[in-house]
Chain A
Amino acid sequence: MNDSNTSLISIKDLVFHRGEQIIFDGTNIEIPKGKITAIMGPSGTGKTTLLRLLGGQLPPLSGSIHIDGQDVGRFSRKQWYLLRRRMGMLFQSGALLTDMNVFDNVAFPLRENTALNERMIRHLVLMKLQAVGLRGARTLMPAELSGGMARRVALARAIALDPMMIMYDEPFTGQDPISMGVLVKLIRSLNDTLHLTSIIVSHDIHETLAIADYIYILSQGKVVGEGTPENLQKNPSQWVQQFIHGMPDGPVHFDYPAVEYYQDVFSFEKTP
């Protein structure tokens, strides 16, 4: 995946810290155009942080990020706002605007960013809601939706401006088996029919292996494994095998970094 002609996003030597904590430590990731790329890794490795770096909501400490051929490292606020019109993002919680109904939520990016008249907007909104199967729910308020429905509305909103790419933060968590299946199909069909580039952040192995074209596994600030789902399953690396088979311990530690347990237990003066 080093062919930069087919990459929509290329991340080189990315470094990012949160206080003392090193989140990314020279990470390299290529996101191919038109494909579904999954970023996987244990909880707290910085998957959400990566999406925020790509959306320009956090600045990297060093390294470069190229999106659609542009170096976004020196982007001004204005340039970011222009670029974001071409990015869709599905937040972990859906993040619908709670003071407006489903229809207005999907219409919001259109009303704010385009000069379309209300008839056109209505047309587009109904089309997007139809795509996620919620055209009939357009007068409901976000508080009246189930978690799965809210996420589908958020998906309709994310594709409202016909973006070139869409980022999904944990789209599968908290979905029942049926809506899970619907969602997996939806992500695939949106990607293929709208010619999107999709980035999925997840730790649900089965769904991700089923849907992704290419997978990166992150751990402790580094890419510890990458490849197509088939290759990854054959990958001899212990790290990759541990993650894919969900074993609690191995080279990747489940625990947040700490001093040895016995040291903590037997040290009385150094509280907490």
Chain B
Amino acid sequence: MILQQLIILGKASRAWLERLGRAYILFAYMVWGIPSIFRRFHLFIQQVYFLGVFSFLLILIAGFFVGMVMGFQGYHTLAKFGAESSLGVVVALSIVRELGPVITALLFAGRAGSALTAEIGLMKVTEQLASMEMMAVDPVKQVLVPRLLAGIFVLPLLAAIFSAVGILGGEFVGVAVLGVDSGAYWSQMQSSVDIYNDILNGIVKSIFFGLITTWIAVFEGYDTVPTSEGVSRATTRTVVYSALSVLALDFILTALMFGEH
């Protein structure tokens, strides 16, 4: 009985490791195929447009709400120490360093990543990928590489928009609702937020998040079991794996960036 359980466990972990291996092989192959993007630059532009438009409104709304919540939370904590005028710093730092990249990546995985997986998975089900191969067109270069690069390019842009809107949301709550001085909100932020330490690190984070979420999304689509059930399972997996990877990677990157002293 226990032996049987162990065998099942062993088989499952082996299958999982094999998938992981295939994901790495696909990644290496995509990296090798990156130069081909110069011949198909329009595909990259097209995907930047699609992925960006897909998530744009979502990011705007989410960013504003998160900023407003940070405004309330920050104000109440700071008020205890009579430091309400530092609200701008607290809102800006927590959003630019953490919430902006992470929440944007999670929303991106749920909106654009799942759509990518479903699209590529359906292309596999309907034999479009196989027919490309037979027309001597490599589907990895034609379909996957433009999407991967577009994801890496788009996510930092979306995170920047999220951060900007979030800081405005914080200002709306802090200044218009709770009566913090507008000049203090902005000037303290300006003097305390560092281009290199804060903003650049946030951008680096979202580049990594863009890479990992889009990689997972295109791999899950490409590796789909070609049935309609297979596509729906792959879509779910994309969202779950992307979310977990983003959070784990965020821990690692944060430890590397801010873990010293």
Query: Which residues in A have some Cβ–Cβ distance to B below 8 Å?
Result: 52, 55, 57, 81-82, 84-85, 87-89, 91-93, 95-98, 108-109, 112-113, 154, 157, 161
Q: Chain B at the A interface: mostly helix, strand, loop or mixed?
A: helix
Give the chain B neighbours of A93 by CB distance below 8 A: 126-127
Question: Are B127's CB and A112's CB within 8 A?
Answer: no
Question: Are B137's CB and A112's CB within 8 A?
Answer: yes
Q: Does B138 contact A (CB under 8 A)?
A: yes
Question: Are B130's CB and A109's CB within 8 A?
Answer: no
In addition to A52-B130, A91-B127, A113-B136, 18 A-B residue pairs with Cβ atoms within 8 Å of each other are A55-B133, A82-B136, A84-B133, A88-B134, A89-B131, A89-B134, A91-B130, A92-B127, A93-B126, A93-B127, A97-B128, A97-B132, A108-B137, A109-B136, A112-B142, A113-B135, A113-B137, A161-B135
Pairs across A and B, CB under 8 Å, 12 listed = A84-B136, A88-B134, A95-B126, A97-B131, A108-B135, A109-B136, A109-B137, A112-B135, A112-B136, A112-B137, A154-B131, A161-B135
Distance to closest chain B CB from A89 (angstroms):
4
Q: Given B127, B136, B137, which contacts A95 in the complex, CB threshold below 8 Å?
A: B127
Distance to closest chain A CB from B125 (angstroms):
9
User: Number of B residues contacting the other chain (C-beta, 8 Å)?
Assistant: 14
Question: Are A81's CB and B128's CB within 8 A?
Answer: no
A81 in contact with B136 given A89-B131, A91-B131, A95-B131 (CB within 8 Å): yes
Considering the complex, which residues of chain B in the window 128-170 have a beta carbon less than 8 Å from any beta carbon of chain A?
128, 130-138, 142
Contact with A along B101-140 (1 / 0, CB 8 A): 0000000000000000000000100111011111111100
Residue in chain B with minimal CB distance to A52: B130
How many contacts between A and B, using CB within 8 angstroms?
Answer: 53
Report the separation of the CA atoms of residues A87 and B138 in the bound assembly, to the nearest whole angstrom: 15
Give the chain B neighbours of A108 by CB distance below 8 A: 135, 137
Distance to closest chain A CB from B132 (angstroms):
8
Contact with A along B20-60 (1 / 0, CB 8 A): 00000000000000000000000000000000000000000
Residue in chain B with minimal CB distance to A51: B134
Question: Are A98's CB and B128's CB within 8 A?
Answer: yes
Question: Are A57's CB and B128's CB within 8 A?
Answer: no
Distance to closest chain B CB from A44 (angstroms):
16
Residue in chain B with minimal CB distance to A83: B136
Question: Are A55's CB and B134's CB within 8 A?
Answer: yes
Distance to closest chain B CB from A84 (angstroms):
4
Report the separation of the CA atoms of residues A161 and B134 in the bound assembly, to the nearest whole angstrom: 12
Distance to closest chain A CB from B63 (angstroms):
30
Distance to closest chain A CB from B200 (angstroms):
37
Distance to closest chain B CB from A161 (angstroms):
8
Report the separation of the CA atoms of residues A81 and B36 in the bound assembly, to the nearest whole angstrom: 15
Report the separation of the CA atoms of residues A95 and B142 in the bound assembly, to the nearest whole angstrom: 16
Question: Are A95's CB and B128's CB within 8 A?
Answer: yes
Report the separation of the CA atoms of residues A213 and B245 in the bound assembly, to the nearest whole angstrom: 58
Distance to closest chain A CB from B133 (angstroms):
6
Give the chain A neighbours of B130 by CB distance below 8 A: 52, 57, 91, 95
Question: Are B133's CB and A98's CB within 8 A?
Answer: no
